[in-house]
Amino acid sequence: MRKQPVLELSGIDRTYGQGETLLTILKNAGLNLYEGETVALVAPSGTGKSTLLHIAGLLEHPTSGQVVIGGQDCTALSEEGRTAMRRSHIGFVYQFHHLLPEFSALENIMMPQMIAGLSIPEAKERAKALLDYMRIGHRAEHRPAELSGGEQQRVAIARAVANAPLLLLADEPTGNLDPETAAYVFSALEALVRQSGLAALIATHNHELAQRMDRCVTIVDGQVVDLKL
């Protein structure tokens, strides 16, 4: 018997506009993600890929439908409740690393942990362990501008999982990297997902990387469907 999904999206509709000028992006969309699973989201721009990620990450409300994370229905949560869920249960990685430029790699990873209430020594210890796991422990004291693109993105991944989330959402996490670096960074991300047991939904245009994941989905006419590459 399969475990309960980490992420359950069901009956998701998302429309924009008012009155007669309505644009439907998602229509009765559904998706389940399970522990330790990597799922590639491969879809052209304009089909609702970012909207789906934003709804899954509680950054955007669906027009209708249900969002369940870790067994908790998040659909009607207050903004405070949604923020708390994002902080404790969801990690985000974007195409651009969005690291804080004035802080070192180590401090960037410590930051979300300290916001969540960990002490400085605890946050520092976990940040060091994550940098070592990503094979950039020797760059801990360097600021983002002193790191290569691949190093910056590995720090961003480490920061995303610093609070041990249940769910990792990544939007083109290797899209800004050359093919060799992209493959290396994705391998590090994949290993982290397997080792930690979180569920990962990764939007990518890179079919080669998508084929390495457990399964691939796309968006057709506002619905999430399986994709064979």
pLDDT digits (tens, 9 = 90+) for 5-19: 999 999 999 998 866
pLDDT digits (tens, 9 = 90+) for 177-229: 888 888 888 888 888 888 888 899 999 888 888 998 999 999 999 999 998 87
pLDDT-derived band at 97 (thresholds 50, 70, 90) equals confident
pLDDT-derived band at 124 (thresholds 50, 70, 90) equals very high
pLDDT-derived band at 1 (thresholds 50, 70, 90) equals very low
Q: Is 46 exposed, middle or buried (CB count within 10 Å of its CB: 0-12, 13-18, 19+)?
A: exposed
pTM of the model: 0.88
Task: Inform me whether the pLDDT recorded for 46 exceeds 90.
Answer: no
Task: Inform me whether the pLDDT recorded for 169 exceeds 50.
Answer: yes
How many CA atoms lie less than 13 Å away from 137 in the CB half-sphere?
Answer: 10
Would you state the pLDDT for residue 66?
96
